[in-house]
Amino acid sequence: MASTPGGNQRTRVHVVSDVHGNARDLARAGEGADALICLGDLVLFLDYADHSRGIFPDLFGAGNADRIVELRTARRFEEAREFQRRLWADIGTDKAAAIEKAVRKQYAELFAAFPVPTYATYGNVDMPPLWKEYAGPGTTVLDGQRVEIGGRTFGFVGGGLRTPMRTPYEIDDEEYAAKIEAVGEVDVLCTHIPPEVPELVYDTVARRFERGSRALLDAIRRTRPRYSLFGHVHQPLARRMRIGATECVNVGHFASSGRPWRLEW
């Protein structure tokens, strides 16, 4: 903790989300902070800005990545799934084993880049069962749980809700709402996905509404945390807005910016 000229101790926390393979900047994300918070999506399956990056193009090539992005952007999800099935059949590789091997390689590098202490929760493209193998003693993984940092209470809820994309860590609305309820009243509510507000869930580049949580929105209105922090939507229509007494902030697409969002008190 840093001291102010008057002698008071202040706390600074840096917050990142949607890391998507950016281990280089992640290693510097905690500089000058008392703690780092990560709101998930460590894995890079496919970079929609650069189709040559990620697990998908590594396995199938940039040309096939171009095609899958085209289908998904057009919301032709069933065609996209059929296209992927054909690709897996052509290479004759066990899909689950190949993906897990690639994810493990990324996790080994990314978890090693976390500073001490780090408080992290899962994103919708993460694989939670693997985290316990890579999270070191300085990294605390939380999901539906609370922790105190610098005298303030932080609540964490990871994952995303069900979508046609079928990403690895999507759960039912009821299960997500139960985790929100378990967190209860906190000073700072940390989630991967945003509350269900049009300005916060609309992606201006993908030109679609991502899934936000109605249960999260209801909890914000009911419990009135100081902050609601989240990521997930890479290019939102609005990066921050107030809901009652709560400042709602999309902390940014760390994969492209390389810069954490800062909270100080």
Average pLDDT value for residue range 165-176: 95
Confidence of residue 52 (pLDDT cuts 50, 70, 90): confident
Rounded to the nearest integer, the mean pLDDT of the chain is 94
Q: Is residue 168 part of a domain?
A: yes
In tens, the pLDDT along 59-109 reads: 899 999 999 989 988 889 899 999 999 998 888 878 889 999 999 999 999
89-172-170 Cα angle (round to 5): 40
- The residue behind tokens 């919708």 is 124
In sequence order, the 6+-apart residues with CB closer than 8 A to the CB of 189 are: 154, 155, 157, 183, 216, 219, 220, 223, 225, 227, 228, 229, 246
Q: Is residue 50 part of a domain?
A: no
The span from the CA of 259 to the CA of 252, in Å, is 8
Q: Is residue 17 part of a domain?
A: yes
Structural domain for 154, as ranges: 12-37+113-257
Q: Is residue 92 part of a domain?
A: no
Least confident range of 24-33, 54-63, 114-123, 135-144: 54-63
pTM for this predicted structure: 0.92
Q: Is residue 235 part of a domain?
A: yes
Q: What is the pLDDT of residue 7?
A: 53
* Domains: count for the chain: 1
The span from the CA of 57 to the CA of 65, in Å, is 6
Under 8 Å between Cβ of 68 and 45? no
Q: Is residue 93 part of a domain?
A: no
Burial class (CB in 10 A: 0-12, 13-18, 19+), 148: exposed
Q: Is residue 43 part of a domain?
A: no
Q: Is residue 212 part of a domain?
A: yes
Work out the number of other CB atoms within 10 angstroms of the CB of residue 167. Answer: 16
CATH number of the domain where residue 190 is located: 3.60.21.10
Confidence of residue 207 (pLDDT cuts 50, 70, 90): confident
